[in-house]
Amino acid sequence: MRKVAIIGIGQTKVGEHWSLGIRDLALQASLAALRDANLEKVDALYVGNMMSGEITGQEHLGALVADALGLRGVEAMKIEAACASGSAALRVGTLAVASGMADLVLVVGVEKMLDTSGRETTSALAMAADAEYEVSQGVSFVALNALLMRRYMHEYGWKREDFANFAVVAHENAMNNPNAMFHLRITPEKYAKAPMIATPVGLLDASPVSDGAAAVVLAPADYARTLSPAPVLIRASAVATAPVAVHDRKDPLALEAARLSARKAYEAAGVGPEAIDFFELHDAFTIMSALSLEAAGFAERGRGVALAVEGEITRTGRIPIATMGGLKARGHPVGATGMYQVVEAALQLRGLAGANQIPNARLGMTQNIGGSGATIITHILERMV
């Protein structure tokens, strides 16, 4: 198996792209990544996307984006794993390069969510859950997270306000990210007063519905340095799954797939959580941040929220998270999110994160969650120069 490196990155601004369709978004991010890698052609293209069929009426994104990019005849396909689609595409691209079946691979995550009404988006997002046994009961995707949050508060004695810092820190970090959806500071008071979507999840616990695309170009690490001045090594790439339905999980608060995929990633990288300089986690909801921190070994069970309360998740804290705004404030174009995490991690590792730069960042971890915790993909990235 060959080692794989990221030699180019690209992203669009996250937000409401009324004038751009799904093809345009994918094209912009892909071209930026190719330009960054100084390439025009690749051997394969993998498109991470969750809901193009439902929202845009467009499937078959692999060939569509390949054609838009002028990559005649190239291998191309769409990869889907709900909100983890972006990371899943990266995983497939990594497999292709690592196996030697491809040398240069373009991976783009893209989501166009705003071409429909809010209710249709809610329904499309709910497709990440179990259609027959969760969605049929009127459970929205938000509600599934709310069920976890309520139980978490009950079992460990946390109050709703204790989650505020996850949102506050994300919004603070997004202030310096030109590509973030929100440039808006929020306060714990504002968090407390936000309207409820599904109790106890309020508007400021939840990431926004957004459009966006992010892309990377992969190459064998052996000669990545000849192609890029600042390549980033993929030290580990790990996927684990759990039952799609929350009720089918033995221990709903354990986020078992996150624990498994983090463990596999640590083993592959030969490091533990203490070696990680920053963690781009999947803060689609504040409760997911807490559970993810625990599952990845940064906090004991029931203590994930303590890291937020104690300020340990800021850029200068013990484990900085959402360093460019996270899903909460950079935005969460679902199928693109995993790729944004990776692009942002690469920026940190290249030392190009601007005001948000984590000093001397060497190892960064990303974790992308599909559904309410069913597919969880962890990547560990390392600075190469």
Partner 1 sequence: MIEKVADNWRLRGQRYRLEGEVCPHCGAVIFPPRDICPECGKPAKEPKPLSGRGEVYSFSTVYSPPEGFEAYVPYTVALVKLEEGPMVTAQLTDVAPDEVEIGMKVEMVTRKLRARGEEGTIIYGYKFRPML
Q: Dihedral of the CA atoms 90, 91, 92, 96 (nearest 10)? A: 100
Instruction: Return the residue of 6, 45, 65, 139 that touches partner 1, per CB under 8 A.
Output: 139
Beta carbons within 10 angstroms of residue 116's beta carbon: 18
Question: Comparing C-alpha atoms, which of 92, 78, 119, 97 is closest to residue 37?
Answer: 97
Site residues for partner 1, 201-220, by CB under 8 A, read: 201
For residue 261, count other CB atoms closer than 10 A to its CB: 30
Q: Which is nearer to partner 1, 129 or 219 (CB)?
A: 129
Q: Contacting partner 1 (CB under 8 A), which of 61, 96, 108, 147?
A: 147
360 CB contacts (<8 Å, ≥6 apart)?
277
Residue with tokens 């060939």: 63
DSSP state of 245: S
- Strand ranges in 276-321 using DSSP code E only, listed in sequence order: 278-280
136 binds partner 1 (CB under 8 A): yes
Q: Which is nearer to partner 1, 7 or 242 (CB)?
A: 242
Q: Is 195 helix (H, G, I), strand (E, B) or coil?
A: coil
d(Cα 349, Cα 346) in Å, to the nearest integer? 5
Reply yes or no on whether 60 is catalytic: no
Q: Does 198 bind partner 1 (CB under 8 A)?
A: yes
Residues in a beta bridge with 157: none
Q: Are residues 87 and 338 in contact, defined by beta-carbon separation less than 8 angstroms?
A: yes
- Say whether residue 115 binds partner 1 (CB under 8 A): no
Please tell me whether residue 143 binds partner 1 under the rule CB under 8 A. Answer: yes
Q: How far is the CB of 325 from partner 1 (least distance, A)?
A: 23
Comparison of 130 and 172: residue with beta carbon closer to partner 1: 130
Task: Decide: is 138 part of the binding site for partner 1 (CB under 8 A).
Answer: yes
Determine whether 176 is exposed, middle or buried from the number of CB atoms within 10 Å of its CB (0-12, 13-18, 19+): middle
By beta-carbon proximity to partner 1, the closer residue of 72 and 119 is: 119
Q: How far is the CB of 326 from partner 1 (least distance, A)?
A: 22
Member of 55, 245, 347, 349 binding partner 1 (CB under 8 A) = 245
Stretch binding partner 1 (CB under 8 A), from 58-66, 135-143, 279-287, 314-322: 135-143
**Residue whose CB is less far from partner 1, 130 or 344:** 130
- Applying CB under 8 A, among 25, 98, 146, 374 the residue interacting with partner 1 is 146
Which of the residues 17, 171, 282, 332 is marked catalytic? 332
Contact flag: residue 247 with partner 1 (CB under 8 A): yes
Pick one of 16, 75, 115, 120: the residue that binds partner 1 (CB under 8 A).
Answer: 120
Q: What's the closest the beta carbon of residue 140 comes to partner 1, in angstroms?
A: 5
CA 34 – CA 44 distance, rounded (Å) = 13
**Site membership for partner 1, residue 142 (CB under 8 A):** yes
Beta bridge partners of 11: 214
Please pick, from the candidates 1, 18, 73, 132, the single residue that binds partner 1 as defined by CB under 8 A.
Answer: 132
**Using CB under 8 A, which of 200, 320, 333, 371 touches partner 1?**
200
What residues pair up with 5 in beta bridges, in sequence order?
219, 233
Q: Which of 122, 116, 113 is nearest to 212 (CA)?
A: 113
Residue of 17, 83, 171, 379 with catalytic role: 83
Q: Which stretch binds partner 1 (CB under 8 A): 61-69, 149-157, 269-277, 305-313?
A: 149-157
156 binds partner 1 (CB under 8 A): no
CA atoms of 212 and 29, how far apart (whole Å):
9
Q: Which is nearer to partner 1, 231 or 252 (CB)?
A: 252
332 flagged as catalytic: yes
Measured distance between the N- and C-terminal CA atoms of the chain, rounded to whole angstroms: 22
Query: What gap in Å lies between CA 259 and CA 248, rounded to an integer?
Result: 17
Binder of partner 1 out of 95, 103, 133, 175 (CB under 8 A): 133
DSSP secondary structure code for residue 207 in this structure: P
Asked if 337 and 368 touch (Cβ cutoff 8 Å), the reply is yes
Residues forming contacts to partner 1 in the complex (CB under 8 A) are 118-120, 122-123, 126, 130, 132-140, 142-143, 146-148, 150-151, 154, 195-201, 243, 245-248, 252
Residues classed as catalytic: 83, 332
